[in-house]
Amino acid sequence: MIELAISAFVTLFVIIDPVGLAPMYGALTRDHGEAARRRMAIRGVAVGGLVLLGFAVGGEALLGAIGVSLDAFRVAGGVLLFVVAFDMVFERRTERRRRQVEAAHAADIGAGAAAMLAAESAFAAPEIMDDALTHEHEDVSVFPLAIPLIAGPGAITSTLLLTTRAGGDWLALALVLGILALVLALTLGALLIAGRLNRLLGETAAAVISRVLGILLAALAAQFILDGAAALVLDVIHRGGA
């Protein structure tokens, strides 16, 4: 049980990456007020958590419905996690997240500018002016914060793999879900102090932490692949013997 708890915490913490997500969130909300940043952080973590919880509870049934075995998913999930780890070690994931943040921010500015131009008309209706003020600072809690920055493919895969490891043990499943809630709470805390965390760590320290966590994730991904491949080989041998 302790081994599962440690594995779940390391995997989810590395994949969701609260330390690396905080500066991205700070850049995404740099034009928002403190109250708006806090509100969007809470909503984003809540939505991302619900998505991950849905896959944790119903993901195995979904795999069964489409005819994919858990062992095959372990191999595929391990490969995906290894790719994520590779990106982390060579800082490709950071660059990709930065592009997502910049794209969302550019869309935010474009929507706000279009609405403000429409409202500048002398004959603009009051509801148009209200729409302009609403779009001046777009809500980014669902996209891109909740999806894909928090509940991305790697986090969904990790959550499903960890819950399948728990098997039918409800205590183990509750432990995994508790670890998920803990990581999400840490993520929320990091988002709420994103500005101070950026100043405290600096870009160099954040890059070092990301690389170290990437190496740990690569090892966990390799273990997922080995476990799934071994089970598939044993299943093939068993069927051949039968």
For 9-37, give the DSSP string. HHHHHHHH-HHHHHHHHHHHTTTS-HHHH
Tokens of 114: 């279009």
- Nearest-angstrom CA–CA distance, 102 and 137: 14
CB atoms within 10 A of CB 163: 23
Mean pLDDT of the chain: 79
CB-based burial of residue 170 (10 Å sphere; 0-12 exposed, 13-18 middle, 19+ buried)?
exposed
Asked which of 41-45, 116-120, 137-141, 159-163 is least confident by mean pLDDT, the reply is 116-120
* Domain limits for position 59: 2-241
Asked which of 110-114, 151-155, 158-162, 222-226 is least confident by mean pLDDT, the reply is 110-114
71-96 pLDDT per residue, tens: 887 788 788 778 877 877 887 655 66
Q: Residue 202 contacts by C-beta under 8 Å, 6 or more apart in sequence?
A: none
Asked which of 74-83, 114-123, 179-188, 197-206 is least confident by mean pLDDT, the reply is 114-123
Q: State residue 120 phi and psi, 5-degree precision.
A: -75, -15
According to the model, what pLDDT value does residue 134 have?
Answer: 38
18-33 pLDDT per residue, tens: 987 887 788 778 778 8
Structural domain total, the chain: 1
Q: Residue 32 contacts by C-beta under 8 Å, 6 or more apart in sequence?
A: 40, 137
